[in-house]
């Protein structure tokens, strides 16, 4: 779905990808940039928070298990301390069984859980539902 808003309405959107698996984060970053997004990556809760500075991204893709906490820790901290953080949609990415993390995801307001290896169609559907038209 290509238009002036890029693929999936991502043109110019600011996305944060947080994953301690560098290969996964890089592959997702490249795909999102091809779709027109501006992407920042981080490998930890701490580096993700530091990278946000004073502005929340338009969407976060967050690995569930990170070296210094969980994706849920990051979601809670963003919502509590980053201006606009309460409105940021979150897509969890995980190597675990999606059904096993589903209850925690819902409890933290996470809109979608996408399992690794990440299928582009599943990620595209989650992004489209979360962001809609730019």
The confidence score (pLDDT) of residue 134 equals 46
CA distances from 55 to 65, 79, 82, 134 (A): 24, 12, 7, 18
The confidence score (pLDDT) of residue 2 equals 46
Give every CB contact of residue 48 below 8 A, 6+ residues apart in sequence.
16, 18, 42, 60, 62, 74, 78
pTM, two decimals, is 0.91
Q: Enter the tokens of residue 11.
A: 């043109």
Q: What is the pLDDT of residues 84-119, one digit of tens each?
A: 899 999 999 999 887 899 999 999 999 999 999 999
Q: What is the pLDDT of residues 11-22, one digit of tens each?
A: 999 999 999 999
Q: What is the pLDDT of residues 34-76, one digit of tens each?
A: 999 999 999 999 999 998 876 789 999 999 999 999 999 999 9
């Amino acid at each position: 779905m290509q238009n002036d808003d890029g693929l999936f309405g991502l043109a110019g959107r600011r996305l944060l990808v947080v994953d301690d698996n560098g290969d996964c984060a890089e592959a997702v970053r490249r795909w999102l940039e091809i779709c027109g997004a501006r992407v920042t990556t981080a490998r930890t809760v701490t580096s993700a928070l530091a990278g946000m500075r004073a502005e929340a991204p338009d969407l976060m893709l967050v690995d569930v298990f990170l070296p210094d906490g969980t994706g849920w820790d990051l979601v809670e901290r963003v919502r509590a301390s980053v201006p606009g953080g309460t409105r940021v949609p979150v897509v969890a990415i995980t190597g675990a069984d999606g059904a096993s993390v589903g209850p925690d995801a819902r409890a933290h307001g996470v809109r979608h859980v996408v399992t690794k290896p990440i299928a582009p169609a599943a990620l595209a559907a989650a992004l489209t539902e979360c962001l809609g038209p730019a």
